Amino acid sequence: MIVDNEINLGCLASDLATFWELSGQKIRLIEEEYTTTQGAPVFTWQGKYIPKGWTDWTQGFQFGSAILQYDASGDEEFLALGKRQTVEQMAPHVSHVGVHDHGFNNVSTYGNLLRLMNEGRIPSDEFERQFYMMALKVSGAVQANRWTDLPDGGYMYSFNGPHSLFVDTVRSCRSLMVSHLLGHSLMGENDRSISLLGRTIDHLKATAKYSVFYGEGRDSYDEWGRTAHESIFNVNDGNFRCPNSQQGFSGFTTWTRGVAWAMLGFPEQLELLAVLDDAELEPFGGRTELEAICLKAAKASCDWFIDNTPTDGIPYWDGGAPNLHRLGDYLNRPADPFNEWEPVDSSAAAIGAQGLLRLGRYLGRDTEEGQRYWQAGLTASKTMLGDPYISRDETHQGLLLHSIYHQPNGWDYVPEGSKIAYGESCMWGDYHMRELALYLHRNLKEQPDCYFFGGLVN
């Protein structure tokens, strides 16, 4: 990337206003045209959302988008939509024992609604508050029960099974931490109370140790900030076996949406660690150790993104994609979503840009280091808020264009005459673009920062 140090929030004001107008149109269009009995909408195919994939991991992004739209606009239509669909559609996700996606589905819906109530943005109703709290308590415990022990801790395993640690799941730690902050714990055999804070910390340690690389010689492809989508373990003895990838090119290349999950997940947990008491962290290693682990992983992943992304902040779908060499000096010019060889992934940019901003804010915008990450986040945000990434087509249900779901499986729509997929959207990309825009919007309006644990910690 070429980090633009001249961009400020004011430069984005007009684009943000247009963004929220378009965002509202897309939410209405999906509500009018998409039938949820098909399953959760995952990505667009010729401009229309379709279900696809392994689990309904995107349902919370659909309804959470309406809640974020209300947060930014104050339009009661979207609040009513988000509430209704959460009540009618999200209960199965609260008790879903087969996925690692609770932080995606349930914090995006029940969590955003509780946050808005805690912030005084929606009327306080005690029964409604308890309804959201109950869902979030259970969701965090169900997620935490998906557990593999390691000799030095453990991790929440992916839907692939107990041997599989996904880098994505670092962001589902949100569900455990919200549940913990609400006073809940996981009850095991013989009424053993299992700390959700403890499981979160163990998972963060495992992800930082096995999913993120630091140029310390773990393998021949170890470099600062590279991430593995999946880490494979021998569940008989807990030994790490190898890096792997489900949606990237290989276990020895960096799937860019994977590095983006780390870029956002670790800074969010740093924000939370900063407001927890020292005494609460002491049994799990103490503040100094825990913050150092998360900060190293956050900096490394964000640095990799900056160093391995084209000048405008939009990455190609994998840093080692096999045909990148055919693009020539692709890192020293803006990304080209219409090229003939490899797709870009704007959804990775939307997730990663928020991570850059949060890390920059955490380190301090008055520091050289913090300012670098902050400005990098603004650089990528400015690109995504303009053409050709924001969809202005009134018939296209997607909002953020040129995202990729599963390049190796060939699931994404390839337009006639093209060699690669482009021009489509995905539900997680649209949702995280809205999260990013809301973060920028609230900073622009000098409103309090938006945290996933909003109102749960004084």
Is the pLDDT at 113 greater than 80? The verdict is: yes
Residue 56: predicted pLDDT: 87
Q: Where are the alpha helices (DSSP H) in 385-444?
A: 427-444
Residue 53: predicted pLDDT: 72
Check if the beta carbon of residue 66 is closer than 8 Å to that of residue 27.
yes
Of 175, 176, 173, 164, nearest to 205 by C-alpha is 173
Of 186, 194, 178, 164, nearest to 98 by C-alpha is 164
Task: Give me the helix-helix angle, 256-273 and 196-206, nearest 10°.
Answer: 140
What is the tens place of the pLDDT at every residue in 127-176?
999 999 999 999 999 999 999 999 999 999 999 999 999 999 999 999 99
What letter represents residue 124's amino acid? S
Provide, rounded to the nearest whole percent, the portion of the chain with pLDDT above 90. 97
pLDDT-based confidence at residue 37 (cuts at 50, 70, 90): confident
pLDDT-based confidence at residue 57 (cuts at 50, 70, 90): very high
Mean per-residue pLDDT over the chain, rounded: 97
Is the pLDDT at 276 greater than 80? The verdict is: yes
What letter represents residue 74's amino acid? G
Mean pLDDT over 44-52 rounds to 96
Fold classification of 9-444 is Glycosyltransferase (1.50.10)
Gap between the Cα atoms of 26 and 289, Å rounded: 44
Gap between the Cα atoms of 98 and 246, Å rounded: 17
Q: Is 313 helix (H, G, I), strand (E, B) or coil?
A: coil
Residue 142: predicted pLDDT: 98
Distances (CA, A) of 434 to 22, 23, 381: 11, 8, 11
Gap between the Cα atoms of 207 and 455, Å rounded: 27
Is the pLDDT at 338 greater than 90? The verdict is: yes
Is the pLDDT at 38 greater than 90? The verdict is: no
Is the pLDDT at 182 greater than 80? The verdict is: yes
Contacts of 180 (CB under 8 A, 6+ apart): 140, 195, 196, 197, 200
Mean pLDDT over 415-419 rounds to 97
pLDDT-based confidence at residue 381 (cuts at 50, 70, 90): very high
Is the pLDDT at 241 greater than 80? The verdict is: yes
